[in-house]
Amino acid sequence: MAGRIARSAAAFALCVLLAGGVARAGPAEVKSPLEATRTGATITVALLRALDDATVEAYVLQTLMGGIETIGGTQTCVAADNSVSHRPSALANPPFSEESIQQREHLIRTLGVYGFVEALVSRGASRSELAVALANFQRAAFTLHAFANVHTSGDLFVDERAATLLALAKALRSAKNQATFKRVIAKGSPTIAKLITILRTDVSRRRREALSAASLEVALWRAYGTESARGAVQRPGLPLCNGPVATNPDPHDQVPAVPIANMPEAIRTGLKRATGRATALQAVNLDAFFTALLALNAAASAGPPAIEVALQRLDASLVKPERAARPLFNGSTQ
C-alpha cells in the first residue's frame, strides 16, 4: 500500500511539473514555457481578430455612408472599365479566416511544448519525465499539421515545416537515450528557428495592418458621427473593385468635427470601441516574445543555466504585451 501511495504521489508531482504549475527544487529545476506561449498565442489571436473586426466595421460604415441598403456577402464596387460590379465583402471574406488564425495559435502553442521538451532534455530528465511532454508535443504537432494543410485567406503556408515538426515529434518519441534525444533536438533546431522567425515577421506585419484598419475605422466613425450630428451624411463614391474594402474620408470634403458628446449614442459607442482598439494595437508589440523564443531554442544545447536565463527572458517579454492587449481579448474595447 505504501509503495502504491508513493508511486501515485510521484505520478501526481510529474503531472503538475509538466503542466508548469509547480517547479521542482534543486539544480534540476525546470520552469515551463507553456504558460508564456499560451499567453503569446492568445495575444496573437487577439491581434488577428482585431484586424478582422476593424476591417468589417470599416466596410459596414462605408456602406452606411454610401447609402447602400444591403450588408452581406457582396459589396458594390467600380470595375476597371468604370462599370458597377460586385466583390466579396469583408463580412464574407475577412482578411484572416478562422483556420488561418488557428494555424498561428497552434504553431505558437506547439513551439511552447517543444521548448519544454528542449528544457527537459537539456537537464537530463528521466525517461518517465519526458514521456508526457513528448506525447503532448506529438499531439500538438499533429493538430498543427492538420490546420497547416487548410489553405484559406491569411494562410501562413507552413505545411511543409509542420510536417517536419510531426516527423521530429515521432523521432523524439522513438529515441532510446539522452544522446539520441540531443542529436534529434540539434537536427530540428533550424526548423524551429525558421518557424519562429516566420511568426515574428508575420505578427509584426499583421499588427501594422490591424492598426491601419483600426485607424481607418476611427476616421470613418468620426466622419459619420460629425455628419449625423449635423443632420446630413455625405455619400462617397463606390470603392474600386481592386482597391481596399474602405477608404479614408476625403479631408477636403469634411467639415470640422463636432464634439463626441454631440454625436448620437450609438455612434459614440462605436467610436469609443474603435479608439480603444487602435490604442491597444499601438501599445502591443510581440517582437521581444519571439526573440526570447529564438533564444530558448538556441540555449537548448548550452545546458541548464542558459535554459533558465532564456525562460526568465521569455516570461519577462510578455508582461507589457499582455497588459496592453487586454482590451482586445474577447473582442472588447470598452
Residue (of 45, 62, 42) closest to 213 by Cα position? 62
Where does the pLDDT of residue 229 fall: very low under 50, low under 70, confident under 90, or very high at 90 and above?
Answer: low
**Chain mean pLDDT for the chain:** 83
**pTM assigned to the model:** 0.83
Give CA–CA dist 102/202, Å, rounded. Answer: 14
Looking at residue 7, its pLDDT comes to 37
Q: Which three cell numbers stand for residue 205?
A: 506585419
Looking at residue 5, its pLDDT comes to 37
Q: Which three cell numbers stand for residue 257?
A: 468635427
Q: pLDDT digits over 166-199, tens only?
A: 999 999 999 888 788 889 989 999 999 999 999 9
* Main-chain phi, psi angles of 301, to 5 degrees: -95, 5
Buried b (16+ CB within 10 A) or exposed e, 191-206: bbeebbebbbebbeeb
To 10 degrees, the CA torsion angle through 238, 240, 245, 249? -50
Q: pLDDT digits over 5-25, tens only?
A: 343 333 333 333 333 333 333
Q: pLDDT digits over 145-174, tens only?
A: 999 999 999 999 999 999 999 999 999 999
- Over residues 64-73, the mean pLDDT reads 80
